[in-house]
Amino acid sequence: MTENLDNAFDNLLRRRALRRALKIFSIVLLSLSLPFSAFAAYKENYSLKLLPNTYVGDFNLSHKRLNEARDTLRDLASRFENQKYLVKDDEGNAFEITPKELGIKVDVDSALREAFARGHSGNFSTQSKDLLLAPFQPRQVFLNWQIDNAFFEKALQAKVKDLEKTPENAQIQVTAGEITVIPMVAGRKIDSQRLSEDFKQLFSKEIINDPQIKTVKLSYTLIEPAITDEYATSVANNLKKIVSEDLVLTYEGKSLRIPKTELASWLTLTPRENTIEVTLDQNKVFNSLTKAGKSIEKPAKPKKISTKDGSVIEEGEDGLQVDKKTMFQNILEAFTLNSEVNHNLSLVVNKIPAGERRVAPEETFTPGMYPGKYIEIDLSKQMLAAFEGENKFMEARVSTGRWSMPTPTGVFSINNKNPRAYSRNYGLYMPWWMAFIGSEYGIHELPEWPNGAKEGESHLGIPVSHGCVRLGVGPAKQLYDWAEIGTIVYIHK
């Protein structure tokens, strides 16, 4: 009996202990399940929403559904893209334009995808961590920009084409023997990269919600010319050394002087990328040497021996001729830039042997006086002949200068040609013009008046010109086509 009572009491204690344990377990289980349930509900609530503390740019999009956030940002972006801005530089130049007209667009979708990824991408652990920390850690996503650079540059150029400036190189000017530098002008180009960045910074609530037109500063990038003032001044200083004094040419005790203003006229300046090429005009140098050498040069006069009886008709005499090609090279060396300039040179003169020629006593011209082409004019007989060595090309009657305006005698050369030159002094056209002393004296066809009238052939053989050598119709063109620049012209009485 006592044993049965003890067993009953033990069972009662065990049942009470079991009920207590079950009660405690239920309480623990309930306390654990509530947070999980709350978290599950929290996660489900934000399955299509942006988490708390989520910002795109400076726009708070916390708790917004994805489509709602997209609509909000697209509306703001559209207002920004179509809002007029005043683009203005420091000089007061200004124009109105919208970001959309420049090809600037706000990339809303990319920013939203990045913002929505928090708490919605990655594994369960990553998503849970993002969800739990979101209320305490703000997350800011920066807006991306889509800019069509080619479109931006084209649209910008259409607005600012008159504001940009092409750089102008410094130049060297030679006038009346004076050498001066024309300063460079720096160019400028719109700083398009800075302008696009400035527009990006304007995308904010305050700017978009303010209806007033905003000002964007227009900046320029300066472009330095290829040829700078410093470089041009350096070249000009070297050129000033060349024209600082006359060029003196000496020959057998004689000094011939070429004025410094004439030296300046020789200079030819050609811009080459970032340099200035300096050369001497060969034709002008040759003309100066011809003028300077007039008192020294003389044609060779062959000893003329009669073909009839072998007697000496006329004694010969060696000729003298300035070696222009050698002198040109010597002048180039003397005038080398960045070195000391030599203004005293020896004149190189070649001796032309007289030789002998058997001629008929009545012959006017001297074949073979020069090895190449040359023109010989006899003033006393009013005749012209053209030779190539000993071979006569043509002979024609001419009209040379009247007694008051005589044709100069000596050895010259053709320096320029013009099929129809015009004389302002006399109001006449001179067909088939070939100058042999500067542009003052030349060989040409009988002159014509502007009304079409032409000097008559009856004047040929009579010295009635203003100093030029006139040829008839036909021979003038024949000689013009045959003669070249540099052909010798020998004029004698």
Judgement on whether residues 32 and 66 belong to the same structural domain of the protein: no
Helix (H) or strand (E) holding 89: none
Cβ–Cβ < 8 Å for 62, 52: yes
Mean pLDDT of the 214-228 span: 89
User: Which tokens belong to 265?
Assistant: 């006229």
Give the per-residue pLDDT at 26: 55
Using the predicted structure, report yes or no on whether residue 24 has a pLDDT greater than 70.
no
Neighbour-count burial of 296, counting CB atoms closer than 10 A to its CB (0-12 exposed, 13-18 middle, 19+ buried):
middle
Q: Calculate mean pLDDT across residues 328-335.
A: 93
Does residue 231 lie in a domain region? no
pLDDT band at 41 (very low <50, low <70, confident <90, very high): low
Q: Are 344 and 365 in contact (CB under 8 A)?
A: no
Give the per-residue pLDDT at 203.
Answer: 61
Give yes or no: residues 385 and 443 share one domain: yes
CATH number, domain of 395, equals 2.40.440.10
Pick the more confident residue, 65 or 4: 65
380 domain residue, yes or no? yes
- If asked whether residues 78 and 213 sit together in one domain, one would say yes
Band the pLDDT of 30: cuts 50, 70, 90.
very low
> Within this chain, do residues 87 and 208 fall inside the same structural domain, yes or no?
yes
Of 402 and 55, the one with more pLDDT: 402
Tell me: do 98 and 158 sit in the same domain: yes
Predicted confidence band of residue 33 (pLDDT cuts 50, 70, 90): very low
3-state helix, strand, coil in the chain (%, to 5): 35, 30, 35
Do 88 and 210 belong to one domain? yes
Number of domains in the chain: 3
Q: What is the mean pLDDT of residues 441-453?
A: 94
CB 343, CB 242: distance < 8 Å: no
Beta-bridge partners for 492: 378
Q: Which residue has the higher pLDDT, 263 or 107?
A: 263
- For 111, other C-beta atoms within 10 Å of its C-beta total 22
| Structural domain contains residue 316 | no
Report if residue 152 sits inside a domain: yes
4, 65: one domain: no
Q: Are residues 77 and 2 in the same domain?
A: no
Residue 454 forms part of a structural domain: yes
Instruction: List strand residue ranges (DSSP E) for 365-446, in order.
Output: 373-378, 383-388, 391-399, 410-413, 416-423, 428-437, 441-445
Tokens of 41: 């509900």
43, pLDDT greater than 70: no
Segments in 90-172 forming alpha helices (H): 108-116, 124-133, 149-160
- pTM higher than 0.75 for the full model? no
360-368 long-range contacts, CB within 8 A, separation 24+: 360/306, 360/307, 360/308, 361/306, 361/308, 361/313, 365/392, 365/395, 366/301, 366/302, 366/304, 367/391, 367/392, 368/302
Q: How many residues does the chain have?
A: 493
Same domain assignment for residues 5 and 78: no
Distance of alpha carbon 484 from alpha carbon 100, whole angstroms: 68
From CA 421, how far away is CA 483, in angstroms rounded? 17
Position of tokens 């609509």? 71
Q: What is the pLDDT of residue 419?
A: 96
Distance CA 242, CA 245 (A): 7
What is the structure's pLDDT at 443? Answer: 97
Instruction: Answer yes or no: is 344 within a domain.
Output: no
Residue 190 has pLDDT above 90, yes or no: no
Q: Cα–Cα–Cα angle for 70, 74, 77, nearest 5°?
A: 140
> What's the pLDDT band for 354 if we cut at 50, 70, 90?
confident
Report the SS3 class of residue 55. Answer: strand
Task: Say if 332 falls within a structural domain.
Answer: no
Residues 31 and 157 in one domain: no
Of 93, 99, 101, nearest in space to 76 by CA: 99
In the DSSP assignment, the letter for residue 365 is -
- Distances in Å between the alpha carbon of 401 and those of 229, 407, 413, 444, 480? 52, 5, 18, 13, 20
Structural domain containing residue 154: 57-114+139-170+185-223
In this structure, is residue 4 part of a structural domain? yes
Q: Are residues 11 and 144 in the same domain?
A: no
Q: Same domain, yes or no, for 28 and 75? A: no
Q: Average per-residue pLDDT in the chain?
A: 85
Residue pointed to by tokens 């972006």: 77
Q: What is the mean pLDDT of residues 234-248?
A: 92
